[in-house]
Amino acid sequence: MKEIKVLVIVAMAFALASCGAKTATAIVEEPVKETTEVEEPIELLTPCTTLSQLSSRDRDEAETAFVLYRDLVKTGALAHALPLWKKAYSLAPGANGRIQYHFDDGVKIYTDLFKNAIDKDQKQAFIDTVMMIYDKRSECFGNEATIKGRKAFDYYYNFFEYSDADKTFNLFQEAVEDKGKKADYFVINPFSKLLHDRVVEGKISKEEGVKLAITLNSAISHGLANCATKCDAWNIIADYAPNRLESLEGIDDFYDCDYYSNKYYTQFQENPTDCEVIKLAYRRMLRGKCDIDDPRLVEVKASKDKNCFTPPTPVGPLRQAFDIYSTGDYNGAIVLFKKFIAKTTDVEKKAKYTLLIAKIYYGDIKNFVSARKYAREAAKLKSSWGEPYILIGKLYASSGPLCGPGRGWDSQIVTWPAIDKFQYAKKIDPSVAGEANKWINTYSQYMPNREDIFQRSIKEGSSFKVRCWINENTTVRVK
């Protein structure tokens, strides 16, 4: 059995390299940090039974079970691995006092059983077993915050039909709050989505939402700056979570002056004479209710007065609308623009300011559905006008983080209906051809490749319906 013991230790070491797989569509698993040393392990303190605490006979039996079940897991024979895994797990849940991959293997095995089960009660039993494995891991090795995050992750991605939304959200919240800026990367994307939706739906207070959003932003910044071994994962997160959190800027009185200043004053400092950047920083800082004597706001306003002079709009409803808009009161500005549109008989102006409302919903309030609604209304008011369709195309192209994880299939296919709109815009309005071509060239490179559509048995050139909030038929293309 001495040879078996050595094999066990070596097998455990090699297994470490395979723990922690990541995919482009979901941050699936936390990398398990285990030693790769092959010498006889030094056991750490753990309340769980370890190999060295077993009788000679039981230890040999456990070590053999560890080796054999791992071989079966590696070949994908999970059902055959289960009895051996159970034996190893029951005899020595503390393993050698350090390694923890057997908990991951147990979760993997029972998750597979769940996916292949038909009976609902049986499915629930498998979920309960997965959660008990997580509890045992926490009992043996601590790290409760990470375990909470992993439970929430599995409820969100694997067991969503059998999970309680409040329980999943609370587990994510506890995991994030416990670790703060050092929150585990695999909780960031799903929790950003849940947090965004709960804030928008009014299921949590603004105060609580702001606190959690700031914690997530801090975790993202910390993770990107310290991603020695997880940079691919954090880069995927950077393509998704910041967009979800930024969209909360569209809610009145959500973020405060410090948030807007830290973000937009920094952009201003990098581009102190760019009028668009200056105006954006000025509006956003006022939206955050920065004091007019705030040195940062004073500096931005001075630059605005110097670099961004435009003839004032004549006194009247439009002037009021623009003045309110410039203070960051976007919803108030929309109300006044609508009043002007309702009263004017000038169709050209109706179309112009209806499209402006669409742009405010897109760029400032982050409400894509309303933005499309008003872009379509603008297009109806003025024939052969390509600009509304350019905006709708940009809405679709910007929906990668809204309709998917920021990368991968669900985030790529939004480029198809986007390109449809750009092509239609230049077809009906040659004056926008240059801009349309620019966006077509930009987003064509983000389309799925031939392998992506082949794997899904989809043919290039066939019709395809993009769901999410877009819900439009389009044509399958490859980059």
**Rg of the chain (C-alpha set):** 28
Distance between CA atoms of residues 26 and 220, nearest Å? 16
Question: Coil, helix or strand for 464?
Answer: strand
Q: What residues in the chain have per-residue pLDDT under 50?
A: 1-25, 27-41
Distance between CA atoms of residues 31 and 16, nearest Å? 9
Q: Which residues lie closer than 8 Å to 162 by C-beta, 6 or more apart?
A: 123, 124, 127
Question: Coil, helix or strand for 463?
Answer: strand
pLDDT for the residue 32: 41
Distance between CA atoms of residues 445 and 366, nearest Å? 25
Query: What is the sign, positive or negative, of the torsion defined by CA atoms of 125, 127, 128, 133?
Result: positive
The pair of three-digit structure tokens given for residue 471, joined into one six-digit string: 């819900």
Question: Torsion angle, CA of 31/190/364/378, rounded to 10 degrees?
Answer: 120
> Domains of the chain: which residue ranges?
2-249, 256-310, 313-364, 384-479
CB 8 within 8 A of CB 67: yes
pLDDT, tens digit, 9 for 90 and up, residues 139-189: 999 999 999 999 999 999 999 999 999 999 999 999 999 999 999 999 999
pLDDT for the residue 15: 37
**Residue 427, burial from CB neighbour count under 10 angstroms (0-12, 13-18, 19+):** middle
In single-letter form, the type of residue at position 383 comes to S
Q: Give the CA count within 13 Å in the CB-facing half-sphere of 64.
A: 9
Fold of 2-249: 1.25.40
The pair of three-digit structure tokens given for residue 258, joined into one six-digit string: 């410090």
What separation, in Å, do the N-terminal and C-terminal C-alpha atoms of the chain show? 57
Output b/e per residue, 79-89; b: 16+ Cβ within 10 A. Answer: eebbebbebbb
Q: Return the percentage of the chain with pLDDT > 90, whole number.
A: 85
